[in-house]
Amino acid sequence: MNIVTTDLPDVFIIEPLVFGDERGFFFESYNERNFLQATGVTARFVQDNHSNSVRGVLRGLHYQLHHPQGKLVRVVHGEVFDVAVDLRRSSPTFGQSISCVLSAENKRMLWVPPGFAHGFLTLSETAEFLYKTTEYWHAGDERSILWNDATLAIDWPLQNITPTLSPKDLAGIAFNAAEMYA
C-alpha cells in the first residue's frame, strides 16, 4: 500500500496495491499489520458501516463527542468528495480540514482519526460508502456541524449539484458553537 500524507499530519490517504487482469482485480482493503507498519496507527475496529447515497446527498459533518470514532472510509461503487475536520482544540491543525475524492475507480481510502468530524458529498448517480470505526455508534453522543459553516469554508464541489441533507444535518450547529475535544 502507498500512504499519501495530507496537510493534516494524522490523516492519511491510503492507496492499496491492486492486482488486476482481464478477469478483474483483487486487493487487500485492510490488513492490520500492514496498516500499523505504514501509518503507525494502532486501531482496533469494532464496527463496519455501509451506506448508499444518490447524487447530491451530503452527509455530515458528524462526530461523537464522548466516544470519538476513528474511521477508515472507502467507496465501493461511485464517487464521493470526502472531508475530515480537526476538532481537537489542543491540535496545531484545529479547525482545519482535508478533502479528497474517493471512488470505486481510484480505490483510495481515507483514515479519519478520532477527534475529527467527517462528511461526504455524493458526486456520482449513486455511491456505496463503507467504513470501519474504532468505536461503536452512540446515538445520544452524535453531533453535527453545519456542512457550509463560514468559519470552516470547505470548498464543496457543488457545480450542478443541489445538496440533499437529512433533518439532523440541516439542524447542524456552527463550528464556533460546537462542543469540541480537549
DSSP states of 62-80 as a string? Answer: EEESSS---EEEEEEESEE
The 10s digit of each residue's pLDDT in 37-86 is 999 999 999 999 999 999 999 999 999 999 999 999 999 999 999 999 99
Does 23 map to a domain? no
Does 169 map to a domain? yes
Does 24 map to a domain? no
Instruction: Tell me the residue range of the domain where 133 lies.
Output: 45-177
Does 15 map to a domain? no
Q: What is the percent of the chain with per-residue pLDDT over 90, rounded to a whole number? A: 89
HSE-up (13 A, CA, CB side) for residue 103: 8
Does 9 map to a domain? no
Between the CA atoms of 6, 9, 10 and 15, what dihedral angle is there, to the nearest 10 degrees? 30
The 10s digit of each residue's pLDDT in 102-114 is 999 999 999 999 9
Residue 181 confidence (pLDDT): 85
Number of structural domains (the chain) is 1
Catalytic residues: 62, 131
Nearest alpha carbon to residue 75 among 32, 45, 121, 107: 107
Q: What is the Cα–Cα distance from 50 to 129, expressed in whole angstroms?
A: 6
Quickly list H helices, the chain: 32-39, 167-170
How many other β-carbons are positioned within 10 Å of the β-carbon of residue 32? 11
Does 12 map to a domain? no
What CATH number should be reported for the domain holding residue 83? Answer: 2.60.120.10
